[in-house]
Amino acid sequence: KNQVEQSPQSLIILEGKNCTLQCNYTVSPFSNLRWYKQDTGRGPVSLTIMTFSENTKSNGRYTATLDADTKQSSLHITASQLSDSASYICVVTLLGNAGKSTFGDGTTLTVKP
Amino acid sequence: DTAVSQTPKYLVTQMGNDKSIKCEQNLGHDTMYWYKQDSKKFLKIMFSYNNKELIINETVPNRFSPKSPDKAHLNLHINSLELGDSAVYFCASSQVYVTNEQFFGPGTRLTVL
């Protein structure tokens, strides 16, 4: 069964600190991996997208890495801000015309002042 | 301009009733989705339509029936509502044959009493 597992389930950090969220997947064949941010009460918003050949992608203070050999991805947040408090969801898409995506259960990040 | 819109934003109804949630996207995408996010914040795909044709239909009770009158609209009709149907329902759209990045609507919070 294709799965996407994220860790930790939840994380609390102080404002200004860095943190790293993990995503391990077994989805195969792999097309792309995306990280989404979901603020409370809103729909998820795409942060980064990486294809098989890419191993890093940045979006401001967010940097995603991908190791397609070990099937692992991480999302690094630098100099966290209160507005980074949200759920972060890893999504892996199958190769093929169905474009089926498998969602991880998310990591809930809380940034405290 | 809103990319993916849903109505209503909140829906409170009695058990046994029938209700519909509407979704529209103005991105010109060819694929639309419905997701259910439960109280644990896990996002689960329910349906996916590509060019008005059903391509993904996860294990969902047949009380849920999606209807796609055209590529820009995917409505969700729910019959005989149950307490367990209470959740936030998200509509999304994407261009499958490109990156398949999904753009989400703001969500509809359904509460069944």
Given a cut of 60, whether residue A97 has pLDDT beyond it is no
Q: What is the pLDDT of residue A52?
A: 82
The count of CB pairs under 8 A between chains A and B is 54
Give me the half-sphere count of Cα atoms (radius 13 Å) on the Cβ side of residue A19: 23
Tokens of A38: 């979901």
- Mean local confidence (pLDDT), B19-23: 97
pLDDT at B1 over 80: no
For residue A43, give the chain B residue with the closest CA.
B106
Identify the band that residue A98 occupies on the pLDDT scale cut at 50, 70 and 90.
low
What is the mean predicted confidence (pLDDT) over A31-44? 92
Instruction: List, as ranges, residues 1-40 from A with C-beta within 8 Å of B.
Output: 31-32, 34
Residue A4 near residue A27, CB atoms below 8 Å: yes
CB A33 within 8 A of CB A92: yes
Give A 43-72 residues with CB within 8 A of chain B: 43-46, 49
* Selection from A21, A13, A26 nearest residue A90 by Cα: A21
Predicted pLDDT at B48: 87
pLDDT at B89: 97
Q: Which of A21-25, A55-59, A85-89, B60-64 has the lowest mean pLDDT?
A: B60-64
CA distance B17 to chain A (A): 25
Q: Which residues contact A87 (CB under 8 A, 6 or more apart)?
A: A37, A38, A106, A107, A108, A109, B41
| pLDDT above 60: residue B98 | no
Question: Is a pLDDT exceeding 90 seen at residue B37?
Answer: yes
Contacts of B42 in chain A (CB under 8 A): 103, 105-106
Q: Is B61 helix (H, G, I), strand (E, B) or coil?
A: coil
Task: Quote the pLDDT of residue A14.
Answer: 97
